[in-house]
Amino acid sequence: MLHWKTGKVALLTAVVLAGCPAAPIVASTRALAQNTVKLELWSRQDPSGPLRAGNVVKAAERLNKELAAEGSAKRVQVVVRESPAPGFDDDALQLLRVFGIGQGPDTFIAAHEWICAFQADGFVLKLD
């Protein structure tokens, strides 16, 4: 399970660093210099797996602590939207619809059976 946690932190780190400008930001106060990357996470509202979205939120909190310890003003905020879809198939179909009109979330949690459909339509990036 540690590799999943590390992977989530690595993914969040990559997202934060991808938004880093090449030139330093000059601001008169630390509050003005702080840069928060907001990620929208969609997850199925599921009492059998309540930590699915919670694990990503905890990974962001861990990353924020590490960024603060390094003196960085960058932060990650995960905004969770839980779908009331009755099953994983309904949830995946809803995601495919919103991605199809360009309104999909930054990240999502879906059943592994649907990964190929998301990849075939260009909604999932290979990370290797």
How does residue 85 score in pLDDT terms, banded at 50, 70 and 90?
confident
Residue of 104, 48, 122, 108 lying closest to 80 (CA atoms): 108
Closest residue by Cα to residue 74 from 60, 53, 59: 60
d(CA 78, CA 59): 10
Tokens of 90: 């309904």
Q: What is the CA radius of gyration of the chain?
A: 16
Taking the C-alpha atoms of residue 15 and residue 10, their distance in angstroms, rounded to an integer, is 9
Q: Tens digits of per-residue pLDDT, 97-116?
A: 888 898 989 988 888 888 88
Residue 5 pLDDT > 60: no
Predicted local confidence at residue 124, as pLDDT? 83
Predicted TM-score of the model (pTM): 0.65
